[in-house]
Amino acid sequence: MRRICLTLPTNRACAATIAAVGEEADHAATHFDVEVDLLILDSSDAEVFAQHARVVQESRRAPGVTVHHLAEADQRAFLEEVIRTSGVGKPDLLLDLMLPSGVSYGACTNRAFLIAGALGCRSVHRRDSDSDYQALDGRPVFPVHHELTSLGRTAADAASGVTETVLGPEHADKPVAMVGSSFVGELSVDIGEIARLDNDVYHDVVSLWAPRAWPEEQKRALVEESFTGAGTDPFVRDHSTLTHVDPMRVDMCNIAFLDEVYERVPLPPATDTIGSDYFLMHLVHDGTLPGVLHNRNIVNFYTPERRTDAGFMAYQLRFTKFFLSMLYLNSVYDQMAGAGASLLDDRHRVRPAAVADMVRESTLLDREENVHRLDVIDRSYRRLGGRYAEFAESLAARGERLLDEAQADMEDFALLIEAWGPLVEASRTTALHRPHPRPSSAPDASASCG
């Protein structure tokens, strides 16, 4: 029986989300021929961790579901053993890249990838702590339904399980490597206030996502669709498309990857940088691997912490570092798009060395474009005033350091790609701690139908 890893990384209170994702795990084990490892990677403080632990211990999961609730100490112990067993060089640096002191969206998912290997899982299905499920007729609609219908099947076999297919016959033998959807509700990036305060500033800032050389019309189109997900329309019926999935149409709160992708290339481990966990979406798309885009969009919402002064400043830093990362990532994405199917070997597997070379080459780019990005953010935020002006003032004092960090982040990413194969191999023989025991009784299966 195939094992899957349904994972929820968190560093905040999210007891309700843990309970809801547990129901999705039940749905998967009840309706598909799989065993589910529900993996909660919990970096919360001791009080919040204890609240989460009570939810886990008091929940009654379906047969076939095993819950692993790991504190950072548990994760660190596992990683130290994996790194030691792998024999890779620079073990201290690699441990820091896998479990940094700062927030890293890529690193937390990379930990899930390695732990999935230790558990013998064939796929990783990721959710976020600041999200919830839509409902139809009072029942949640779980994305895992589409993920397990298609993931890992050849495109030819998966065609019978989707609404439509827009792939050419030359892709028929390739595996479906990614299944995903988007979100409804709040913008994926908390910048709605900027648009309300000054729409021109909003355009100037968000267009920094694009390469500087893009024409204005193309930048404006990008701004229009950025961070909006699937809008606000509620779910009414299923629709799924077998295709090369556009990364702009999916979100990391609603994604599943086949092991043949994430065991070949990890995510960028950059700290305090939103969007650092989206790399594999581009790799799957540009490498011409099949995927499925469905419409079981997850509900995105904002947690109260983001509205505090400290939360605001931290979030704006992550937003700024996202723009700085795009100097390098835009270059890599262009190279991957140009390489196309040559990114794959004759078994339709990603070639890690080719990706590492592209990442390392990007670190040689001139920083002038990023200097421009910092100038635009400084000017724009001072125009907005208030907390934005305060952030601009703080940014001015550390701009050079942020430029250095953006380049170093890509150098670290190239290093991690090169070490990833041995780390994955070592994870397969590394034991995880004993999971929480599952209470003997299980919920009524009909209660978790999506």
Give domain status of residue 399, yes or no.
Answer: yes
Q: How confident is the model at residue 312 (pLDDT cuts 50, 70, 90)?
A: confident
Point out which residues pair with 243 in neighbouring strands: 291
User: pLDDT at residue 345 above 70?
Assistant: yes
CB-facing half-sphere around the CA of 278: CA atoms within 13 A: 21
User: pLDDT at residue 447 above 70?
Assistant: no
Q: How far is CA 278 from CA 31, 240, 254, 281, 322, in A?
A: 29, 21, 12, 6, 11
Give domain status of residue 162, yes or no.
Answer: yes
In this predicted model, which residue has the larger pLDDT, 188 or 291? Answer: 291
Q: What is the pLDDT of residue 190?
A: 66
User: pLDDT at residue 201 above 70?
Assistant: yes
Give domain status of residue 96, yes or no.
Answer: yes
Give domain status of residue 450, yes or no.
Answer: no
Report the candidate in 350, 210, 189 with the shortest Cα–Cα distance to residue 285: 350
Q: What is the pLDDT of residue 435?
A: 53
Q: What is the pLDDT of residue 440?
A: 37
Summarize the confidence of residues 208-221 as an average pLDDT.
90
- In percent, how much of the chain has pLDDT > 90? 83
Q: At residue 304, what are phi and psi to the nearest 5 degrees?
A: -60, -30
In this predicted model, which residue has the larger pLDDT, 201 or 446? Answer: 201
Q: What is the pLDDT of residue 443?
A: 35
Q: How confident is the model at residue 326 (pLDDT cuts 50, 70, 90)?
A: very high
Q: What is the pTM of this model?
A: 0.93
Q: What is the pLDDT of residue 438?
A: 43
Q: What is the pLDDT of residue 191?
A: 77
Lowest mean pLDDT among 199-208, 301-310, 359-368, 433-442: 433-442
Q: What is the pLDDT of residue 439?
A: 40
Q: How far is CA 137 from CA 144, 146, 275, 277, in A?
A: 18, 19, 34, 33
Count how many domains the chain has.
1
CB-facing half-sphere around the CA of 406: CA atoms within 13 A: 31
Contact 228, 185 (CB under 8 A): no
Contact 183, 300 (CB under 8 A): yes
Contact 104, 271 (CB under 8 A): yes
Q: How confident is the model at residue 449 (pLDDT cuts 50, 70, 90)?
A: very low
Q: What is the pLDDT of residue 304?
A: 61
The strand ranges marked E within 265-394 are 291-294, 298-300
Q: H-helix or E-strand containing 210?
A: none
**How, if at all, do strands 164-165 and 178-180 pair?**
unpaired
Q: What share of the chain is helix, strand, coil (3-state, %, to 5)?
A: 55, 15, 35
Q: How confident is the model at residue 448 (pLDDT cuts 50, 70, 90)?
A: very low
User: pLDDT at residue 344 above 80?
Assistant: yes
User: pLDDT at residue 338 above 90?
Assistant: yes
Q: What is the pLDDT of residue 233?
A: 83
Report the candidate in 66, 142, 58, 11 with the shortest Cα–Cα distance to residue 433: 66
CA–CA gap between residue 150 and residue 159 (Å, rounded): 8
Point out which residues pair with 6 in neighbouring strands: 38, 125
User: pLDDT at residue 302 above 80?
Assistant: no
DSSP letter string, 407-447: HHHHHHHHHHHHHHHHHHHHHTTPPPPPPBPPPS----GGG
Q: What is the pLDDT of residue 303?
A: 63
Give domain status of residue 279, yes or no.
Answer: yes
Mean pLDDT, the chain, integer: 92
Q: H-helix or E-strand containing 88?
A: none
Give domain status of residue 446, yes or no.
Answer: no
Summarize the confidence of residues 344-357 as an average pLDDT.
97
Task: Give me the domain span that covers residue 412.
Answer: 2-428
User: pLDDT at residue 434 above 80?
Assistant: no
Give domain status of residue 188, yes or no.
Answer: yes
Contact 84, 54 (CB under 8 A): no
Q: What is the pLDDT of residue 306?
A: 59
Lowest mean pLDDT among 228-237, 298-307, 408-417: 298-307
Give domain status of residue 434, yes or no.
Answer: no
Q: What is the pLDDT of residue 225?
A: 80
Which ranges constitute the DSSP H helices of 32-174? 46-58, 72-86, 91-98, 105-119, 144-150, 155-158
Taking only the tens place, the pLDDT of each residue in 104-139 is: 999 999 999 999 999 999 999 999 998 899 999 999
User: pLDDT at residue 60 above 80?
Assistant: yes
